Structure 1
Amino acid sequence: MQKLQNILDARRLARISVTTGMFQTSYQPSSGTFSAEAQGALVEVLKFLSAQVSPLMVNVYPYFAYAADPANVQLDYALFTAPRPVVQDGGLRYQNIFDATIDGFYWAMESEGVTDVGVVVSETGWPSGGYGNFTTRN
């Protein structure tokens, strides 16, 4: 990432953000951690973003959580239609998995000692074709 940023800086394109993929695991948002495989690299990425005063860009796809575990992830929780909180984490209540996922990223970053990097959602969505609840209706 630093090499890419150096090239952008040299070409007077410093306003272009450099991004990379990552994987985060958590159930309760306050238990958010980065995977062991990605942790070392992510800490370096977070330090880089902190120095650049740039946000962490994340892709949040609620349907991945639902598709992976439909028995335990309620459809209305994934679709922003839950009539009441589905997950309670301490004093926080979550009616949708999207908000819980974003908070999980903040908790994971805090567990690595990073508190000055914002989180921006760069991609999200729900599939419009396929099987089961992956339809245009949802």
Structure 2
Amino acid sequence: MPAILLLIGILSSTMGLFLSLPPMKNIDFMPLFRVESLGVCYGGSGNNLPTKQAVVDLYKSNRIGQIRLYYTDEEMLKALRGSNIEVILGLPNDQIQSVTNDVGATNWVNKYVKAYSNVKFKYIAVGNEIHPGDALAGSVLPALQNIQKAISSANLQGQIKVSTAIDTTLLGNSYPPKDGVFSNSATPYIRPIVNFLKENGAPLLANVYPYFAYVNNQQNIGLDYALFTKQGNNEVGYQNLFDALLDSLYAALEKVGAPNVKVVVSESGWPSEGGAGASVQNAGTYYRNLINHVKGGTPKRPNGPIETYLFAMFDENQKQGPEIERHFGLFSPNKSPKYGQLNFS
């Protein structure tokens, strides 16, 4: 090929890649392009975890550009100052009722957001996995609205989006994915929340776990389908369970009048021990394949990447619940990687 034609081809290819990338704001340039679509959740339920500054340093050394925090941990917020790591800041369930009025929401934003102006907040997650029958269900929307008012009063609405994190049990049907719909009990709860997200240009945060779907339905779901190792499509055109679950959420959003609300996968992971299908080999396979997969899209939303937060940074030996809950870490508490060197960037 003549040199000039080769050069034109390279330039055209590079320009096409550049134009296909989402806007990059306030991101330090690194070699090649860096797309901020992959984060890791940090939970501190352990008595053997590294210091907060050591945790932030570990994120940086592994080029993990986003973190999800579940609590208003001021020591962690101090460690994140100037790090350029994008943050989902959790407003935990036990603080929701305190922000269902203007004064409480303003005080919360002043204390945990405005006071850390050099922390790169991206989302505020008001509550995690609250279900329609829970005592807090009626408080989620007022809390969202009041935190939004406080964010707008601080002139941060262009930088920070306010949302809540759900799980896929709110779906009444998830298969085939095109028939995804919120359950009859969940619809009156989720519809006004989704309307709030739509009005404010915010995404829905969703915790998506092929692991639990597989464990609860092993007679119909193959391990290869859950681990991204299935060869070929199934009868409805899906190669993996992650895409099927995510697209069923998109179908459910369409049915409540919100086809343009984006889903951010605020948790997804696989345990390394403690239950059925939980092993170092399976977990390593899941994380490696998930990291590679979310660079693209789903059959229903093919234009990726899929913004996804891996659960979680460390094994947490004091986490409540079944044994598996203490074995979702990508790193051991001594900071050694459990699955070799994963490519987070």
Aligned to 1:54: 202
Larger radius of gyration: 2
2:226 matches 1:82: no
Any idea what SS the aligned residue of 1:54 has? coil
- The code of the aligned residue for 1:5 comes to Q
Q: Is the 8 A contact 1:80 1:95 kept in 2?
A: yes
Structure 1: distance between partners of 2:164 and 2:264:
13
Amino acid at match of 1:64: F
For residues 13-40 of structure 1, the C-alpha deviation after alignment (integer angstroms, 9 at most, x for no partner) is: 4333323233224121011011222211
- Following TM superposition, by how much is the alpha carbon of 1:98 offset from its aligned partner in structure 2, in angstroms? 0.5
Asked whether the 8 Å contact 2:231–2:239 carries over to 1, the reply is yes
Deviates more, 1:123-132 or 1:8-17: 8-17
1:13-24 equivalences under 5 Å are 13-14=156-157, 15-22=159-166, 23-24=170-171
Counterpart residue type for residue 112 of structure 1: V
Structure 1: any 5+ residue segments left out of the alignment? none
State the identity as a percent: 42
Is 1:111 matched with 2:255?
Answer: yes
- In 1, are the aligned partners of 2:215 and 2:276 still within 8 Å (CA)? no
RMSD: 1.5
Partner of 1:136: 280
Equivalences, count: 134
CA contact (8 A) 1:77 1:86 kept: no
Query: Is the CA contact (8 Å cut-off) linking 2:165 and 2:204 kept in structure 1?
Result: no
Q: Which residue of 2 aligns with 1:7?
A: 150
What SS does the corresponding residue of 2:205 show, helix, strand or coil?
strand
Question: Does the 8 Å CA contact 2:225/2:239 hold for their aligned counterparts?
Answer: yes
Shift of 1:79: 0.5
Secondary structure of the residue that 1:129 maps to in structure 2?
Answer: coil
Normalized against structure 2, the TM-score is what?
0.37
Q: Distance in 2 between matches of 1:87 and 1:57?
A: 28
Q: What's 1:39 paired with?
A: 187
Alpha-carbon distance, 1:11 to partner: 3.1
| Structure 2: runs of 5+ lacking an equivalent | 1-143, 283-345
Moved beyond 4 Å, runs of 4+: none
Q: 2:268 matched to 1:124?
A: yes
TM-score, with structure 1 as normaliser: 0.88
Residue pair 1:58, 1:122 contacting (<8 A) in 2 also: yes
Say if 1:87 and 1:95, in contact at 8 Å, map to a contact too.
Answer: no
> 1:87 deviation in Å?
4.2
